[in-house]
Amino acid sequence: MSDANAGSQSSPDFNRMTRDIADVPAVEVITTVAVHLMSAAAVNLGLAEEGPQHKDLDEARKLINALAGLVTASATEISSFHAAPLRDGLKSLQLAFREASAVPDEPGQGPGEKFTGPVFG
């Protein structure tokens, strides 16, 4: 095998990847990204198996803000069938953040609340 062939076999096929992503419906991309943001936020809230070992509220705040923006902006595009569970997950994370904070934010000032409005338990 020549060096040219070895290099092409190990590099990603960007044309194929572009075709593959073009075949994925937008609702699937949006919900997948939202689930990744939720998972990362949960880990940073200390809700993973290792718990406090990965707790980082600053990182969690950023992820929840991004999730709130995505869910709010896409809700009308992805239908309530898909948006409702994302909103529920977002609210759960917002409440978990408030609970995990030593000094909770004022209502309406928590992560993502500029997009969702104040979140109450």
Burial of 43 (0-12, 13-18, 19+ CB in 10 A): buried
- 3-class secondary-structure state, position 85: helix
Confidence (pLDDT) at 20 = 82
Give me the tens of pLDDT residue by residue for the chain, a chain 121 residues long.
Answer: 444 444 456 677 877 777 788 899 999 999 999 999 999 999 999 999 888 889 999 999 999 999 999 999 999 999 999 999 999 999 999 999 999 999 989 999 999 999 999 998 7
Query: What are the tokens at 4?
Result: 């040219």
Residue 75 in contact with residue 83, Cβ under 8 Å? yes
Distance CA 113, CA 68 (A): 8
Nearest to 67 by CA among 36, 24, 22, 103: 36
Supply the pTM of this predicted model: 0.83
